[in-house]
Structure 1
Amino acid sequence: MKNILTVILITFISISCSKRNWEAGSNGIILYPSGAKTNAAKAILVSPVDEEIIKVSASATKTFSTEKSLIVLPDTKPVEFEVKEEKDKLIVSTSKTKIEISKTTGEIQFSDENGNLLLEEKQGGGKSLKEMEVDGVEGYIVQQVFESSEDEAIYGLGQHQADEINYKGKNEELFQYNTKVSVPFIVSTKNYGLLWDNYSFSRFGDPRPYGQIDQFKLFNANGNEGSLTATYIDNTNNDHIFTTRDESTIDYENLETIEKFPEGFHFNHAKITWEGELQPEESGIFRFLLYYAGYTKIWIDGQLMADKWRTAWNPSVAKFQWDMKAGKRYKLKLEWIPDGGVSYIGLKALSPVPANQQDDISFFSEMGDQIDYYFMKGNSIDEVISKYRKLTGKAQVMPKWAMGFWQSRERYKTQDELINTLKEFRKRHIPIDNIVQDWSYWPVDKWGSHEFEKARFPDPVGMIKTIHDNNAKILISVWPKFYIGTEHYNEFEKKGWIYKQAVKDSIRDWIYPGYPGSFYDAYNEEARKLFWEQIDEHLYEKGIDAWWLDATEPDILSNASIEYRKQLMNPTALGPSTKYFNAFALMNAKGIYEGQREKNPNDRVFILTRSGFAGMQRYGTTTWSGDIGTCWEDFKAQIPAGINFSMSGLPYWTMDIGGFSVQKKFEQATEGSKEMDEWRELNTRWYQFGAFVPLFRVHGQFPYREIWNLAPESHPAYKSMLYYNKLRYRLMPYIYSLTGAVYHNDYTIMRGLAMDFPFDKRVQNIGDEYMFGPSLLVCPVYEYKARKRDVYFPNNGGWFNLYTGEYYAGGQKVNTEAPYERMPLFVREGSIIPVGPEIEYTSQKKDAPIDIYVYAGQDASFNLYEDEGTNYDYEKGEFSTISFNYSEKEKVLTILSREGKFDGMIPTRVFRIKVITRNKPLPFLSEDGVAKTVTYEGKEIKIQLL
């Protein structure tokens, strides 16, 4: 087998007689379970990486792979550990972790240093390795199952669109797709994490694929057994029925299966309804997966289970479940209105499993050399994520300008459009730091050239200079895609570094009249270098500041089946695409990051990418949630999607504020119409939310998304969006300090409530609130015309309304006011928030006074972080922190002596202290309420406040 070597036993020091079935060495122990069964592990390697990180490898043979991980960084530092033998157990102990291993089955238990059990593998070890082969390469279908305690919640797995927050007892397929980012990492409220080191198509939870609905006995609308009744209406204006037929499956999910639609049926004014009854053959909870594009509703026994919309070319999924009894019939109705053109729909289900099995923590993967996973623990979820980043790489401090406002649209078609948009921002005094050039700036038949079309962009260097002269940066779209015959395609092709299947199959894209091309192989190190060299020559040399790496799933052909997608990227330089299916984005970002840092070590890399994977954070990346829809349900789904992505160890996330793909009703909305009213409110509410995610970014299809194109200045929508834009910039000292903490303390900016309130069990399933940094409770409004929303205040002290200073006790749910122009925002009691001046770009007014808001009632602290803002000197220790500590008992604020320095540091600061108490509320940004003004020259100051 490729990259498999026999473990050389002389590297291990035997500490037992020949009858013993285990060996120990400097890097861990190898166990050969005496009771190994078919498809179970024949050898298990347990290796402490540090005192609280344990690597486990399980092999189907008595050998282990030496293939280097794409996810985990190499670490050769030895870790001290002890090994004891107790009857049927081996006990491996570091100073902080205890691992018990059954010598018979290989089952492993993980405990803390005091013996408190944190996680255990399923009885018998929970390991399965089944032989398989792809393209002549041997491997294994692998699965690892763990027990899950009743009271824990599970987060992570990347970013998915089914509006789920706690993955305890849930199922999730792990593959990359336009609006789906799969990261095989979870964290538990029991303060441990699991990293599944595998790159193939995987599943969390139930390892079975969802099955077709013909697993039920089906009855059509007339009660006849064997199918449902499918009614195809081809003209909704007169409800003309094109055909009615019996169907035993609803499986139109990709370009292959849609061929099963009735011949000659057109979707432009269509409606299809499936009706009938389902009768299960067993009792229990059935879990359904609805795959949809267009307007879709589904009912079971008259109860609406989903009401969704997605654009025709970019489907999404909805999940629901139903408790069923064997032999009983359940009415099913699925109503689908395609959104024009080719469209997709599907309905599948998973049959019941025992409750204790459904709650198992399970990772399954299609292909691997062996099972590889990492257990890690800490005293908090933050500490667990810190361990994850120790394994997979630190996340950088993003350039300060990146934390400002980003304006984008699909797309600025000319140089003048781009520049004039930026100038309009400056004319209107709307804060902005970044303008974005999306795709198709190149000649129409030269995708991959990275060249600006001269007729539309006559002077790219001058354009970029104008942007810089207007105190802004430019990010540009760069795809790993090349049209056949272009110079760059030929450079890859002659080296054998281009995926050939799309070329062989003459796949053409959607640009009229359709151009053939393919993607380069990012798994090839030399190909990555060439990709960077091409970008460097044509774009970086011209002054481009940042990179938008689109379609990095890779999306060679949208809506292809998983199997065909594998063919389209096969083989990779490392092996079969089946084995490396999920890691393309990681490899692609690696090439850009390493190329730019080598070219210009002082220029902080910024990469925006549509896909992601474990370890992406080490390459200067932010991931966005893809081409989501302009609808309230997609808006709501972004909240848990962003939280879980952040809790997957990747701290920088964003989305298309307002949604990318636009419903026709909004495209055609006219002034004064109900559609225009909804469009403006949707964008306003989304904008409010978007100001409080790690990256603040507007993007989408027509209608244009600049706030003056969304609404006139006098409109509440315009006023609200301007307010939140300015608020983001006023909070820049707070936000940039969080960015500093991401690198220096492995911090997470967008925080699930379980991170900060682990002892409040009520927060575990809340997916529509989160903490933005340590102090701000963010409560987006995601329902049309809602003017109130329920807010749960976590139970660890009280909360202050940001806008009024009104106090709320923790541990209660309150139906709070949510007027059109304001999203509920609350400040945690015992917080310090530094607030800067009103500015229009992040580098403006660097020496201006900073307001220090102290929300009293509990002790509080905050570290104000500063560095140069654009270079990597912070990695060398060139940065400063000013620590603020408030004592509730003494009512004293202490500003500690500044630590550190950097070029350009402002040596003297003016701080204006404002205090908010339960009895003395103060609106945020009020000109009143200054308790003290101090001039700070870097030495400790104590200030009596109350």
Structure 2
Amino acid sequence: MELMNRMSTLVIKSTLATLLLLGISLDLAAQQVTIPVSKGEKWFGGVVNEAHLMPFKEGYDFDLYANTGTNQASPLLVSTRGKFVWSEEPFRFTVGNDQLIISTGGASVVIDSSGTNLREAYLNASKRFFAPKGELPDTLLFTSPQYNTWIELVYNQNQKDIIAYAKAIVSHGFSPGVLMIDDNWADYYGRFDFRKDRFGDAAGMVDTLHRMGFKVMLWVSPFISPDTEVFRELKEKKFLLYDGSSKKPWVEADRPAIVSWWNGYSAVMDFTNPEARNWFHNQLEYMRKTYHLDGFKFDAGDAEFYATDAISFREASPNEHSRLWGELGKYYPLNEYRAMWKMGGEPLVQRLRDKQHSWDDLRKLIPHITTAGLLGYQFTCPDMIGGGEYGSFIGRDKLDERLVVRSAACSALMPMMQFSAAPWRVLSESNLAAVKKLTALRARYVPYIMEFARLSAITGEPIVRSMVYEFPDQNFEEVQDQFMLGKKYMVAPVVTVDNTRKIKLPSGVWKSDEGEIFEGPKVIVAHDVPLDRLPVFELME
């Protein structure tokens, strides 16, 4: 019997390999699917926060169930040979022995090999499973830098300092844009009103910011502080997730699930319940109308914060709970998410997760944002300039000024750029001038960025693209420190402490930002790249 099972497995693998070679799309319901990996074939996708480890190497393993990797994720893998793997449910995938092994728990898996390269694999998947909706988020998110109050104020969000931060933005020569008021503006989580001890006139504050030229977003999360008036109300209405250890059906469940997250312990909204979703949306609308807000920063929502055994109104995986959190953002053109599941093609703004103030994390920006594009998340913002993981700022007398400037350069020609640490506070006069020069450089490219943002809303194609996406068969699979802005501009920021870097030009005639003409393929060594320079190469022909 064991010999027969082995022979059957070999026949299935052989048949699958033959069908894939013929470019046939397969829809399989199985516990495990083994896909042969051809010589030189490279795979990407699944989890944005793992992108610096892509293309996947021998031994790589990741389980998407209840795990979005603290950032954006999707049940999609794409290969440089035109294949893609998709499932409506999360799966585990392992790379090894020239095989890609997909473990599903019985969910259906689609395997398609009708493309010939990474771009075709992505577009084939996009058209079938997450077609673009033809809509853009608020265009101010693209056309002007964004400003977040997090690093400057952390948990001390207050009216006086927010106004002071906005005034400093303008007085230091930065253009107003979207201003995000971050966490701890309320008395507790679930209380939808500004705390009176820090915000004497919140509506007046927002009106002042509007007169200065800003649009205003407010941080929100799906958490509810326990043992509060709102918690008791929502428990009574059964709008919360319930503890699954009781094994009770939903109608009998009476003990809300309490989860651990970075700010302590909280209950979680159950958005499988339409009435709970309506309640939360009504709270957002109350805040928007009462305080004249323009939109919301939807934080948390990671699949990891939804217990695998939680009892909900409708049965749902932790990943599905994460996706439902994403649905709320579609009410607001001015939105931002840091964690997401299976919402490619939607007019939702994604932000790369908080990076540390380090050169290692700076180097992750390009592979992470280009991989977000391969999962359908085109309207993505890199992390806050200089890093948004505030723990890496604690105990520092001063920041690495070179890192802050290089971070600004790396962000300058991405779809969006966001400041949090005030550059005029942390930088010398000369380094501040360098950052302002880089924001001015971005302003010159904004029309081109917007052209491709609008195209992306229609076609689904990334605004920023990995080199291998745009130039297949030119050995760019491992290049992580360059990217394409649309089809015309290759951007090669310095992402190391060293001022020298190698730039790999694809085939074609290229004009550098310094006016030099190069014919590719060619490797250029750029020595002593000034802090205020962002190497950009325009494809002439």
Tell me whether 500-509 or 459-468 shows the greater mean CA deviation.
500-509
Are 1:392 and 2:130 matched, yes or no?
yes
Are 1:520 and 2:273 matched, yes or no?
no
For residue 422 of structure 2, what is the amino acid of its counterpart? Answer: E
* Structure 1: stretches of 5+ with no match in the other structure: 1-35, 42-101, 130-141, 207-356, 557-564, 597-603, 671-675, 700-704, 831-857, 859-946
Question: How do residues 477-496 of structure 1 correspond to structure 2 at under 5 angstroms?
Answer: 477-496=219-238
Give the superposition deviation at 1:104: 12
Are 1:154 and 2:43 matched, yes or no?
yes
Task: Pick one of 386, 400, 406 that aligns with 1:679.
Answer: 400
In structure 1, the residue matched to 2:164 is 420
Give the superposition deviation at 1:471: 1.6
Contact 1:194 1:376 in 2 (8 A): no
- Structure with the larger RCO, 1 or 2 (CA within 8 Å, 6+ apart): 2
For residue 817 of structure 1, what is the amino acid of its counterpart? Answer: H
Contact 2:51 2:371 in 1 (8 A): no
CA distance in 1, matches of 2:295, 2:58: 40
Cα distance per residue 1:268-290 (max 9 Å; x no partner): xxxxxxxxxxxxxxxxxxxxxxx
Query: Do the aligned partners of residues 726 and 105 (structure 1) sit closer, same or farther apart at CA in structure 2, a change above 3 Å counting?
Result: closer
CA distance in 2, matches of 1:508, 1:745: 40
Query: Do the aligned partners of residues 454 and 773 (structure 1) sit closer, same or farther apart at CA in structure 2, a change above 3 Å counting?
Result: same
CA distance in 2, matches of 1:178, 1:186: 15
In structure 2, the residue matched to 1:373 is 110
Question: How do residues 726-805 of structure 1 correspond to structure 2 at under 5 angstroms?
Answer: 726-760=440-474, 762-784=475-497, 786-794=498-506, 796-802=507-513, 804-805=514-515
* Structure 2: stretches of 5+ with no match in the other structure: 245-254
Are 1:402 and 2:151 matched, yes or no?
no
In structure 2, the residue matched to 1:190 is 81
Contact 1:488 1:534 in 2 (8 A): no
- 3-state SS of 1:811 partner: strand
Are 1:814 and 2:524 matched, yes or no?
yes
Query: Do the aligned partners of residues 163 and 538 (structure 1) sit closer, same or farther apart at CA in structure 2, a change above 3 Å counting?
Result: same
Cα distance per residue 1:627-649 (max 9 Å; x no partner): 32111111112321222121122
- 3-state SS of 1:572 partner: coil
For residue 719 of structure 1, what is the amino acid of its counterpart? Answer: A
Query: Do the aligned partners of residues 690 and 105 (structure 1) sit closer, same or farther apart at CA in structure 2, a change above 3 Å counting?
Result: closer
For residue 789 of structure 1, what is the amino acid of its counterpart? Answer: R
Query: Do the aligned partners of residues 507 and 575 (structure 1) sit closer, same or farther apart at CA in structure 2, a change above 3 Å counting?
Result: closer
Give the superposition deviation at 1:659: 1.6
Cα distance per residue 1:505-552 (max 9 Å; x no partner): 8767776xx6x5311112333322221111111235532222211111
- Normalized against structure 2, the TM-score is what? 0.86
For residue 626 of structure 1, what is the amino acid of its counterpart? Answer: R
Cα distance per residue 1:344-386 (max 9 Å; x no partner): xxxxxxxxxxxxx532122223x45x32325374566445434
Query: Do the aligned partners of residues 434 and 663 (structure 1) sit closer, same or farther apart at CA in structure 2, a change above 3 Å counting?
Result: same
In structure 1, the residue matched to 2:248 is none
In structure 2, the residue matched to 1:360 is 99
Q: Which has the larger radius of gyration?
A: 1
Task: Pick one of 176, 186, 191 that aligns with 1:449.
Answer: 191
For residue 145 of structure 1, what is the amino acid of its counterpart? Answer: T
CA distance in 2, matches of 1:521, 1:451: 21
Give the superposition deviation at 1:147: 1.4
Query: Do the aligned partners of residues 103 and 789 (structure 1) sit closer, same or farther apart at CA in structure 2, a change above 3 Å counting?
Result: closer
Query: Do the aligned partners of residues 733 and 463 (structure 1) sit closer, same or farther apart at CA in structure 2, a change above 3 Å counting?
Result: same
Percent identity, aligned pairs only?
18
Contact 1:179 1:628 in 2 (8 A): no
Give the superposition deviation at 1:823: 4.6
Contact 1:185 1:648 in 2 (8 A): yes
Are 1:440 and 2:181 matched, yes or no?
no
Between structures 1 and 2, the one with greater helix share: 2
CA distance in 2, matches of 1:104, 1:203: 19
In structure 1, the residue matched to 2:345 is 617
Query: Do the aligned partners of residues 547 and 110 (structure 1) sit closer, same or farther apart at CA in structure 2, a change above 3 Å counting?
Result: farther
- Normalized against structure 1, the TM-score is what? 0.51
Question: How do residues 540-939 of structure 1 correspond to structure 2 at under 5 angstroms?
Answer: 540-554=289-303, 556=305, 566-567=307-308, 570-575=310-315, 580-593=317-330, 596=331, 605-618=333-346, 620-654=347-381, 655-662=383-390, 667-670=394-397, 676=398, 679-699=400-420, 705-712=421-428, 714-715=429-430, 717-760=431-474, 762-784=475-497, 786-794=498-506, 796-802=507-513, 804-830=514-540, 858=541
Give the superposition deviation at 1:402: 1.0
Contact 1:771 1:778 in 2 (8 A): yes
Give the superposition deviation at 1:419: 1.9
CA distance in 1, matches of 2:289, 2:112: 40
Give the superposition deviation at 1:688: 0.8
Are 1:461 and 2:222 matched, yes or no?
no
In structure 1, the residue matched to 2:250 is none
Query: Do the aligned partners of residues 375 and 178 (structure 1) sit closer, same or farther apart at CA in structure 2, a change above 3 Å counting?
Result: closer
CA distance in 1, matches of 2:17, 2:523: 41
Give the superposition deviation at 1:492: 2.8
Contact 1:120 1:146 in 2 (8 A): no
Cα distance per residue 1:464-498 (max 9 Å; x no partner): 22222222111111100011244543443223221
Give the superposition deviation at 1:718: 0.8
CA distance in 1, matches of 2:130, 2:528: 41
Contact 2:132 2:344 in 1 (8 A): no
Give the superposition deviation at 1:574: 3.2
- 3-state SS of 1:731 partner: helix
Contact 1:153 1:166 in 2 (8 A): yes
- 3-state SS of 1:783 partner: coil
Give the superposition deviation at 1:768: 1.6
Contact 1:179 1:625 in 2 (8 A): no
CA distance in 1, matches of 2:527, 2:258: 57
| Number of residue pairs matched by the alignment | 517
CA distance in 1, matches of 2:289, 2:115: 41
- 3-state SS of 1:694 partner: coil
Give the superposition deviation at 1:611: 1.0
Contact 1:178 1:627 in 2 (8 A): no
CA distance in 2, matches of 1:759, 1:105: 27
Give the superposition deviation at 1:771: 0.7
CA distance in 2, matches of 1:644, 1:147: 22
In structure 2, the residue matched to 1:145 is 34
Give the superposition deviation at 1:153: 2.2
- 3-state SS of 1:497 partner: coil
Cα distance per residue 1:817-845 (max 9 Å; x no partner): 35342454222332xxxxxxxxxxxxxxx
Query: Do the aligned partners of residues 570 and 109 (structure 1) sit closer, same or farther apart at CA in structure 2, a change above 3 Å counting?
Result: farther
Query: Do the aligned partners of residues 104 and 442 (structure 1) sit closer, same or farther apart at CA in structure 2, a change above 3 Å counting?
Result: closer
Give the superposition deviation at 1:149: 1.7
Give the superposition deviation at 1:752: 0.8
Query: Do the aligned partners of residues 37 and 688 (structure 1) sit closer, same or farther apart at CA in structure 2, a change above 3 Å counting?
Result: same
CA distance in 2, matches of 1:461, 1:827: 46
CA distance in 1, matches of 2:220, 2:391: 27
For residue 723 of structure 1, what is the amino acid of its counterpart? Answer: K
In structure 2, the residue matched to 1:431 is 175
CA distance in 1, matches of 2:180, 2:499: 33
- 3-state SS of 1:186 partner: strand
Contact 1:798 1:829 in 2 (8 A): yes
CA distance in 1, matches of 2:166, 2:204: 14
In structure 2, the residue matched to 1:230 is none
In angstroms, what is the RMSD of aligned CA positions?
3.2
In structure 2, the residue matched to 1:331 is none
Give the superposition deviation at 1:186: 1.9
For residue 336 of structure 2, what is the amino acid of its counterpart? Answer: L
